Structure 1
């Protein structure tokens, strides 16, 4: 009986495909959810004219750090993922990639991202250390807290004070307000994401806000959505944003209503759809900020 040997180029392609799936480049939703508030912050900090160099640095940094986060997340969850329907085909869970390889990918990507931060200023570099610590520890949060989504929100939100620091050399109260708003948004969309895995998470002992909120999940999410919109309204007032910005917030409110409709029966597929819909919400807010500044001439 002969054993079929794959041509080398097919082996390389299969290996590259596994790495692409490890860092979720085939599923860029996480990149968008991290990028949108980063762009909000850069445009507000730069009063509509952020440094192009910083836009490039932060965009590349978002891609690198989100990818690094996926690698360390899969390494941390390698004992859980094979038992969850949605995650059992991930490269590490399926045995396509060894745990040590995932750690090496995380380290390489994190170092590349830090190299980008070194092109900014001292304050941004110091803030990046806290951001890196949050990103590296987030995957373990679900083992000791019922609110790992808050930890994720802090990790994603730290791009906001970093953006202000890089653009202005300081982190004003407006930046910290936008940080809190970004954290709330992450809790909202990641709770929707966790609602899709609720039964699997309960069975294997993983904690989440979806389990913590229980039957009150939709009500609590509605309250958080309202606070998020009020927070953005206050951000706009402090930043001097007006017409187009308020229109963008109206679009965001409409999208939140649509998300509530999607999760009404807590169907896992619909909850994932609601989670994905937040990409358009983040885009709507950014476009509103962009148009408001452009409208000033």
Structure 2
């Protein structure tokens, strides 16, 4: 399960004075206030109302753009990669709801999603997924040949991720690969090559995501067991703090090594030390037996994404003297 949400179907709304306790949902958000009623289910299907995942997809890619450009990337490239992150995250969430539509109605947190609550039909969701892919395909015209092939290789990963939790305890690995794919494309589009240092940064981001997504997965462990789904949290069990701490340590080590290999200035390593402190705080705060605090820790990784950009700028733009 992912930390996203949907608007309840009007027929399923509780009576006056009663409202279901859905921790990941807002009844009065901007989608409900500003969008036409017919658009709301589509906005929630692609998680426009839940931007955390989009930021966690985009921020590492922006950091890679800075590193690949050895400074400030072009605004055009930032725009293309931002739109690509938004669209591909939306495609992934749409397919997630398509595949999970027969599971979601059995979980209090997800039973009001557009498909499982009847706000959208399966056909409408499939057409919407196709439309998003079609718009994303136009972005191929704005990137180079190597990046186009990388973009096409990403699509199967985005589509199959929701199925992975049925067969493996490591769906977070597939998610991490897909979420951070833009880091590789940032280098291929900027330099027409993906050096080992870029791959090391990407692997570090994948490992980081396995860690923070496992933190979130502890929230859903009871429901996942009931539904026969799997996650890294189930594999880690009571030793979650140890394994997540180890994953974070590997991620930071790879990021330090990649920065050194790129010849980034010392301010990069100073900011990276700050990232290490933040991740250590997450591990210290995390409690496998109190998963109610996991959502806050999960969201705090947006700060890590921002710091990755700051580190890249510090290592390329700031003077090293």
* Same fold by TM-score greater than 0.5: yes
Is the counterpart of residue 149 in structure 1 residue 192 in structure 2? no
CA contact (8 A) 1:20 1:26 kept: yes
- 2:194 is aligned with 1:163: no
Residues 7-46 of structure 1 mapped to structure 2, 5 A cutoff: 13-46=36-69
Q: How many residues align?
A: 287
Within the candidate set 62, 86, 99, 2:109 is matched to 86
Whole-angstrom distance in 1 between the partners of 2:123 and 2:138 = 23
Q: CA RMSD in A?
A: 1.6
In the alignment, the residues of structure 2 paired with residue 150 and residue 46 of structure 1 have an alpha-carbon distance, to the nearest angstrom, of 28
For structure 1, list consecutive stretches of 5 or more residues without a partner in the other structure.
Answer: 1-9
Q: Which of 296, 302, 312 is the aligned partner of 1:279?
A: 302
Residue segments in structure 2 that go unaligned for 5+ positions in a row: 1-32
Residue in 2 that maps onto 1:67: 90
Contact 2:212–2:244 at 8 Å: present in 1 too?
no
CA distance in 1, matches of 2:53, 2:99: 18
Are 1:251 and 1:281, in contact at CA under 8 Å, matched by a contact in 2?
no
Choose which of 137, 149, 158 in structure 2 pairs with 1:126.
149
2: CA distance between counterparts of 1:266 and 1:95? 35
Runs of 4+ with >4 A deviation: none
* 1:122 Cα deviation after fit: 0.9
TM-score by length of 2: 0.85
Once the two structures are TM-superposed, the CA of residue 247 in structure 1 deviates from its matched residue by: 2.3
Alignment equivalent of 1:264, drawn from 287, 291, 294: 287
Give the corresponding residue for 1:187.
210
Measure the CA separation in 1 of the matches of 2:127 and 2:285. 39
Is 1:244 the counterpart of 2:267 in the alignment?
A: yes
Find the aligned partners of 1:23 and 1:286 in 2 and give their Cα distance: 25
1:41 and 1:99 map into 2 onto residues whose CA distance is 37
Query: Contact 1:149/1:191 (CA < 8 Å) preserved in 2?
Result: yes
Check whether the contact 2:172–2:232 (CA below 8 A) recurs between aligned residues: yes
- TM-score normalized by the length of structure 1: 0.92
Q: Name the CA distance, whole Å, in 2 between partners of 1:234 and 1:117.
A: 32
Q: Which deviations, in whole Å up to 9, do the C-alpha atoms of 1:37-66 show, x marking residues without a partner?
A: 101111111111323221111111111111
From 77, 81, 88, the equivalent of 1:58 is 81
Bigger share in helix = 1
Secondary structure of the residue aligned to 2:300 is: helix
